[in-house]
Structure 1
Amino acid sequence: MLNDFEHELMEYFTDKLFRLHEAATLISCYAADWTSRLKLINIYRSLSKHETYDHPISLNLKIQGHTYPFCMRLSDIFILGEILFEQQYSMKSRLPEAPTIIDAGGNVGISALWFAGHYPQANLHIFEPASDNLAYLKKNARFWPGARIFETALGRRGGEVVLHMGKFGGMHSLMKNALAKGSAEKVVRVGTLADHMAEFKINKIDLLKLDIEGSELDVLIGLGNRINDVSVIVGEVHEAIIDPEDFFSYLREGGFKVLWTRRFHGSKEQQVHGFEAVNVA
């Protein structure tokens, strides 16, 4: 049986090997040119230098044969790895050729990049309330023909709400959780998906992606009866903030079947897991 030191040492080397595999995959499979490959190499070399995490990075990335310019902060490499290397939004469900996709929690646009590459004809509505993320998201979305950005949060009712600013852009949350403890706060607009569907005459959402740092259940409640008009939901459940049993019970009561739940790298420590659910009602 391993002692504490041996256990920590094993975790350290396991993480290093994981990052090496992640880096090799991003460099060999997703970087579209040598300049982008060299930039990715330099990013991984800089991961121990936290003072560089806000540095802007410009890459050319290829998704499903499509090449897109992409801007992000150095710290966003972790989200890039989650979505491109771990393929957190690779689904069992099949979507139509030109799906309507709601990206709740757009961040700088890495999930939207994945969807744009796999579904280039998608009608893509991206929700992101944080100004630091929006600056990058707006630059990136110029290259996705079907994308529209909405500078608002999603929840169970419309109005205004306090956004707690996390250490990194992917940690901002409407919930006052441990990740955002002691952080700055910003008042942002919040709306419901039911109102959004009515305003934009959306009859059906083919895919709802949720990565909103603990507000997942609020977004579902904000759909009301329009949850019946959602085909597939994929995303993350933040166990430290909401009860997974409550979340999945709500889905099942709404006519959804959970196809899978799983952990990704580091998600056990972060108390997060991914899922995919399909409407079978």
Structure 2
Amino acid sequence: MIDDLVKSIKDVVKKPVRPLVRKLRRQIHEQTWRRLNLEWTLRSGITIKVINHCDWVLYNDIFVEGEYDLPIKNALQSGADRGCLNILDLGANVGFFVLRVIDLFQGSGSKIPYQFSLVEASNREIDDLRSRLASQNLLSDNINLIHGLIGQKSGTGQIGEQEFHGMNSVFFNQGTRGTNVEFIDLTGVLEGSEIDLLKCDIEGSELIFLENYWDSLGRVKAAVFEFHHDLCDPSECTEYLRKAGFVNSQVLTSHEKHEISTRYFWR
């Protein structure tokens, strides 16, 4: 009986303390990363800043491991053949993917005109993305930032803002703060100029996107998707992409523990 009473008291005390502990831990982590002030300027002149743990993970995936290098390099060749490079980034987050594109683009010595469209749903990350690009004088008519949810063509949804910002998603638990964001209709973007590479990493909404837009991908030459197997069915996504004309594919990375894979598709 005494043990049960002690346990009940502990449970009552813990409940209001837990959010405070999580908040304090988050603040300590943020301050620690910022004090490290990690940044590096690449040979291309692009500077990469790492200000939190998620940045560190993304930096290693994209710049160290070169997760997207094969599709990016093929897109650069495609753009060179056409005389213009066009990239569409769905789920831009803080912009490391497009910074890698610019890094390889400038490193190749190419002088062809380019157009990059970056779509991000998170209010917090779109502001961070804009700030990071502005700090390197990369904001111009050639780089278009678009704020909105991806998947449906209209309406409003909620995105969960995670401490690990790479996992911001419309699929989130009750303990995560949700922010209302309007969906954007990407039909005009997809059916406009020819797109050398579409990158899609929208944390589980890939199938919803393909259900609504597979028949608008006719001007997309190649695509790379990050699939979250617990949130959407990669085989269904692949079938939609085949219907859209992407008959070739290659698995770039596969993480069974996290049920995530990155796959490259081309015509």
TM-score (norm 1): 0.71
Find the counterpart in structure 2 of residue 148 from structure 1. 144
What do the CA deviations read for 1:189-235 (whole angstroms, capped 9, x no partner)? 2113214346xxx2222110011101112222332532111110013
Q: Is 1:74 aligned to 2:52, yes or no?
A: yes
- Residue 41 of structure 2, aligned match among 31, 37, 61: 61
- 1:269 alignment partner, SS class: coil
Shift of 1:241: 0.3
Shift of 1:167: 3.0
TM-score (norm 2): 0.75
- Residue 137 of structure 1, aligned match among 112, 129, 138: 129
Verify the 8 A CA contact 2:218 2:244 in the aligned structure 1: yes
Q: Is 1:114 aligned to 2:92, yes or no?
A: no
Find the counterpart in structure 1 of residue 258 from structure 2. 270
- Alignment: residue pair count: 221
Distance in 2 of aligned mates of 1:277 and 1:69 = 29
Verify the 8 A CA contact 1:157 1:222 in the aligned structure 2: yes
Alignment of 1:1-281 (within 5 A): 51-53=28-30, 55-56=33-34, 57=37, 59-62=39-42, 65-75=43-53, 76-91=55-70, 93=74, 94-97=77-80, 98-120=84-106, 121-142=113-134, 143-144=137-138, 145=140, 146-176=142-172, 180=173, 182-197=175-190, 202-264=192-254, 267-279=255-267
Uncovered stretches (5+) of structure 1, i.e. residues with no partner: 1-48
Uncovered stretches (5+) of structure 2, i.e. residues with no partner: 1-24, 107-112
Counterparts in 2 of 1:254 and 1:197: CA distance versus 1, 3 Å: closer
Shift of 1:164: 1.6
Find the counterpart in structure 1 of residue 7 from structure 2. none
Q: CA RMSD in A?
A: 2.2
* Aligned-pair identity (%): 21
Counterparts in 2 of 1:231 and 1:183: CA distance versus 1, 3 Å: same
Deviates more, 1:151-160 or 1:236-245: 151-160
Verify the 8 A CA contact 1:231 1:278 in the aligned structure 2: yes
Distance in 2 of aligned mates of 1:224 and 1:277 = 13
Verify the 8 A CA contact 2:67 2:253 in the aligned structure 1: no
